[in-house]
Each structure stands twice: as C-alpha cells, then as structure tokens.
C-alpha cells in the first residue's frame, strides 16, 4: 500500500533530492560540466515551488565523480549549482543546501551515495533535522540504498522500484500529490 504523503508530510520534514535524473536531464555516460549542458526536467521548477511550501528543508545530495575524473572542477560544479538555485528561486522554490561528493567510487573511505554520510552532513548543517522525518527522492538504486542506509523514507523517480517506499514518474508527479 502506498503511503499517504499528503497526510504524512507536515512542515517539519526534510527532502533530500538527487540532482541528475530528478532535477535535470541526465547525460547518459557523461556529466553536466557547464550551465549550457544543464536542462531542467519538465515540471521541476513548478514541483520545487510546491515542495518548498511543504518541507522545512530541501537539500540536493549528489555524487559528482566527474570532478574526481578531472572532467570538471568543484568551481564549475558550484557555478552550475548557483545558476540552478537562482532559477529555482526565480520560480518560487528554494534549495537550503547542496551536498556534493566529488570523489571517485574507487577511492577508499569515500562518502559517495549509497553511504549515508551526506545525510549526516545535512544534520550537522541543520541540527533540527530528524532523519525519521526525511525523504530521499532519486532515480537510481544508489539513491534508494542511500535512503535506507540513512534511515529515511525513499521515493524512486521512474519505473516502480520495489525497494523504495514509493515511486513516481517524475518530481512533479510527487509534488502534485502534496498540493492541498
């Protein structure tokens, strides 16, 4: 049975969002290395306006291994995120923080998803975050596993994922459930 998100989520919840494939179009076998390559997915700006009204905090939690591979710098990633946040804010939404893991998956002791470290970092930034009142929204198995490892609810974007608490075709579909 699907959770009744509209009744579960109150103003004290936190939303963790994956970036590529949830907020913007994923580049298959590649990386978004500049703002020119960044493309919001349909309905995302409207979704973030709704989600901003329903969640206390919204964090983007993203692995960006392209930095570790030398395909882009953290300065380039930060510039993309600055533009992304400006567009979101111009459309009535808000992102409270962006946590990026630039490490290669092969690096020992990395903090990439599915490790829960970035959820704990968000809790350090905002100590009033209650992980029992958090949702991770992502389009990959690694996002669902991250959510499980952090002890948060999970929503999968795309085809139904049996390991997630729920699935929606897109972020706007999830946000539409929360409109009251």
What residues are labeled active site? 18, 20
Contact 3, 165 (CB under 8 A): yes
Dihedral pair phi/psi, residue 103, rounded to 5°: -70, 155
Burial of residue 133 (CB within 10 Å: 0-12, 13-18, 19+) is middle
DSSP state at residue 74: H
DSSP state at residue 64: -
Q: For residue 103, count other CB atoms closer than 10 A to its CB.
A: 17
User: Which of 119, 10, 120, 109 lies closest to 61, judged by CA?
Assistant: 119
Q: Do the strands 57-63 and 14-17 form a parallel or antiparallel pair, or are they unpaired? A: parallel
């Amino acid at each position: 049975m699907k959770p009744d998100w509209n009744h579960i989520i109150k103003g004290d919840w936190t939303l963790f969002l994956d970036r590529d494939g949830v907020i913007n179009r994923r580049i298959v076998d590649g990386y978004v290395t500049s703002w020119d390559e960044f493309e919001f997915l349909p309905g995302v700006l409207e979704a973030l306006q709704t989600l901003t009204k329903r969640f206390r905090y919204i964090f983007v939690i993203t692995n960006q291994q392209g930095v570790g591979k030398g395909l882009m710098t953290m300065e380039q990633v930060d510039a993309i995120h600055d533009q992304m946040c400006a567009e979101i804010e111009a459309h009535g939404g808000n992102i409270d923080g962006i946590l990026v893991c630039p490490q290669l998956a092969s690096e020992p002791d990395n903090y990439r998803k599915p490790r829960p470290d970035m959820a704990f970092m968000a809790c350090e930034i905002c100590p009033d975050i209650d992980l029992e009142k958090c949702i991770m929204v992502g389009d990959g198995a690694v996002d669902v596993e991250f959510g499980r490892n952090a002890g948060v609810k999970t929503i999968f974007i795309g085809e139904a994922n049996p390991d997630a608490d729920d699935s929606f075709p897109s972020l706007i579909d999830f946000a539409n459930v929360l409109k009251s």
